[in-house]
Structure 1
Amino acid sequence: MLDHHRPEGNLVKISRVGATVAAATALVLGLSACSNSSQSGATASKSSGTLTGTLSGGGSSAQESAMTAWTDGFKGAQPGVAVQYNPVGSGAGRTGFLNGQYMFAGSDAALKADEWEKSKSICGTDGAINIPVYISPIAVAYNLPSVKENIKMDADTIAKVFAGKITTWNDPAIADQNSGVTLPSTKITVVHRADDSGTTQNFTDYLNQAAPSTWSDKAAQTWPAKYTGQESAQQTTGVVSLTQSTEGAITYADASAVGSLGTVAVKVGDNYVKYSPEASAKTVAAAKKVGGEAPGDMAVKIDRTSKDSSTYPVVLLSYQVFCTTYKDKATADVAKAFGTYVVSADGQKAAHDAAGSAPLDPATQKEAAAAIAAIKSA
């Protein structure tokens, strides 16, 4: 029996847990071929452009590029609806949603148990539901202009760098994994998120799972205060900008946002793996179901310790959080129409094209669409 009392921290939410690695690869390489044309062609809304109103949301800054693509695509089908999204970070987005500021939230981390309880006050007795919408690798990105190669690191080395135990780029722990690469003696400056961040939760979950002897802290949405002498910035754009302006800096961020920064090839099994949508999708496809509170809620726990070098373990699965019951029909209809478009083959392809994300596999798209279709008004 599944434990429906969700432990806080390192959970992500999704419906599809039995997806095979082959299916995960196929969804990236041949998305348009595997879509259901009758579903994707009319996914923006069953009402074919007749809706009007405003749908306000806020949250994950990792979703920002995808959200731009989604709002543009949805606008083409529903010109009477204005979707407004504020990329304030996952924690602030969930807080805004629970306070009634937003009609939906984008979050790189699942609602905690107490947040779901609080959601009942605005969403009815079944509370809020977390819908998987966005799979993306988290890049471990650095600013070393003299190094053109992808620097190789195993999990323990990455953990020691972010814990401040390795402080220069030519440290033997790094150099020994990068034979033939000239590493400078430049000081390492760790840059982390200053805000409550689902990206931080996913990254620290990787550190704790893959290098527990070095990184004993459990996954958390805020960076551990005990690591002093480091730099911080708000949201994805903030940490990337600070890293770009600081030679020797290293950070973690949604891969779609790192631009020309160098990125670490992470050791998985016997090989070093560069980030990719395909490898990220395989990691999520192997996740295990753990359950959730609301009907149709989708919860899995990602295993970041796989030795399968076709996977990339530093990955985030991001959600949109909707009410299961909205107070009025107009809001429910707009939320359902937008959510349906986002998880459709068309919506997932739009995000992939804009942000390089890995689309949800067809079975997950179908189950997510069914969960969204069940949204109702009081």
Structure 2
Amino acid sequence: MLPSNKRTRTQDHPRRRAHAYRGVASAALAGLMLATSACGSDEAVQGSAPATPDDLECFSGSLNGAGSSAQENAMTTWIAGYQSACEEARVYYDSIGSGGGRNQFIDGAVAFAGTDAAMDPDENADAMARCGGSDTINLPAYVVAIAVVFNLEGVDSLNLRPDTIAKIFNQDITNWNDPQIAQDNPHADLPDLPITQVNRADDSGTTENFTDYLAAAAPDSWPHDPSGQWPLTPRESAQGNSGIADTVSRAQGAIGYVEMSHLHGLSAANIGVGEEFVEITPEAAAQVVAGSPRREENVSEFDLALDLDYGTTEPGGYPLVLVSYETVCLDYPDEAEAERVKAFLRYVVSPEGQQEASAETDSTPVNDDLRADLLASIEAINS
């Protein structure tokens, strides 16, 4: 590690940074890094230069990641911010979906995976060969709500209880003027129109979080195990969050689910929580994440994967939440790769990196306590 306090550009040896920032969530996990597209480093966000820490550390060379399309917009922001200050660094991220990202990481094709579903113990075992015999760790990179989006002419606001959402996506409620929908929307002019459910075509962490929510919040109406792959023959399907958003926007009567930064002007339903309906906001999502413990099957003290309480009925919380992770090796066989991973992740969790992503995506920045845990885990990465 380098002792200097000024911004440094080194070949392979970035230094740990300590930061303080007022976070909106508690020490549970309010967002680290996330989102980006299948783009590379040359598609930087245009405009004024992003804010970067004074002690930002740079590497020269390239760093490759792949995975979550929910991270697409945030990752694009992080890559732009890092490369604007580190001209010799090139960071590439392919938003092929969480499952694809985990597979590429296990195969050694990328240095890190962006995933909306943390690596399970079996995947961790599969990745050991890639990680030189060490475990993987999951770093909560990005906390954001999942929106249930719909396209109904003349209807901008819609209240949907978990049971109703489950029956719609299980294709048990098939028309928009169904009495169960109408009961909670007495002032909406619901059309006599078939519902077109739109789900992900790819293996998706957003789908896994969404089906986790349905299984926990509406177990009597959602008879499927949580999975990254859609369990039903689809009415319509699309690739990635962007694909679902585009399909719903073009199809009257469509309904789908997307990570919040992919709303793009679409209407989002208010979700039933207990006796109330909660609007999608970063603050409401952060409330649920703040009350969630770490996952019991975490393989290491540095693994920060969470066990989200999707079935909460606490007032004001929005339980349809996505926590996206950066999955990395605890030990990398290649020292230069380890240092590049650490340098970039330090920027991602910095106050500046988190605030830049939040401004673009409505994600919830990490707070001081979570940042300390994340930095400790990043510092534990060895080569």
From 331, 337, 348, the equivalent of 1:325 is: 331
Alignment of 1:1-378 (within 5 A): 23=26, 41-42=53-54, 44-45=56-57, 49=58, 51-148=59-156, 150-224=157-231, 227-228=232-233, 230-291=235-296, 292-377=298-383
Percent identity reads 41
Deviation of 1:295 (Å): 4.2
Structure 2 stretches of 5 or more lacking a match?
A: 1-22, 32-51
Match of 1:31 in 2: none
Q: AA paired with 2:262?
A: A
Q: Answer 1 or 2: which has greater helix percent.
A: 1
Structure 1 stretches of 5 or more lacking a match?
A: 1-19, 29-39
SS at 2:128's partner residue? helix
Deviation of 1:124 (Å): 2.4
**Separation of aligned partners in 2, 1:104 and 1:22:** 25
**Separation of aligned partners in 2, 1:73 and 1:294:** 31
Task: List 4+ stretches of structure 1 deviating above 6 A.
Answer: none
Deviation of 1:43 (Å): 5.9
Q: What number of residue pairs does the alignment pair up?
A: 339
Deviation of 1:21 (Å): 8.5
Deviation of 1:317 (Å): 0.1
Deviation of 1:125 (Å): 2.8
SS at 1:244's partner residue? helix
Deviation of 1:266 (Å): 0.4
Deviation of 1:229 (Å): 5.0
Deviation of 1:136 (Å): 0.5
**Separation of aligned partners in 1, 2:251 and 2:238:** 13
Q: AA paired with 2:134?
A: D
**Separation of aligned partners in 1, 2:147 and 2:188:** 20
Q: Between 170-179 and 70-79, report the one with greater CA deviation.
A: 70-79
CA contact (8 A) 1:256 1:356 kept: yes
Aligned CA distance change for structure 1 residues 24 and 333 (closer, same or farther; 3 Å):
closer
SS at 1:141's partner residue? strand
TM-score, normalised with respect to structure 2: 0.85
**In the TM superposition, what whole-angstrom CA distance separates every residue of 1:303-348 from its partner, at most 9, and x where no partner exists?**
1122222110101000011111122221111110001111121111
Deviation of 1:278 (Å): 0.5
**Separation of aligned partners in 2, 1:298 and 1:222:** 24
SS at 1:288's partner residue? coil
Match of 2:9 in 1: none
Deviation of 1:127 (Å): 2.1
**Separation of aligned partners in 2, 1:257 and 1:116:** 30
**In the TM superposition, what whole-angstrom CA distance separates every residue of 1:251-288 from its partner, at most 9, and x where no partner exists?**
00101102121111001122111111001111111002
SS at 2:168's partner residue? helix
CA contact (8 A) 2:113 2:327 kept: yes
TM-score, normalised with respect to structure 1: 0.86
Deviation of 1:73 (Å): 1.3
**Separation of aligned partners in 2, 1:145 and 1:333:** 52
SS at 2:258's partner residue? strand
Q: AA paired with 1:336?
A: K
**Separation of aligned partners in 2, 1:142 and 1:274:** 14
CA contact (8 A) 2:25 2:286 kept: no
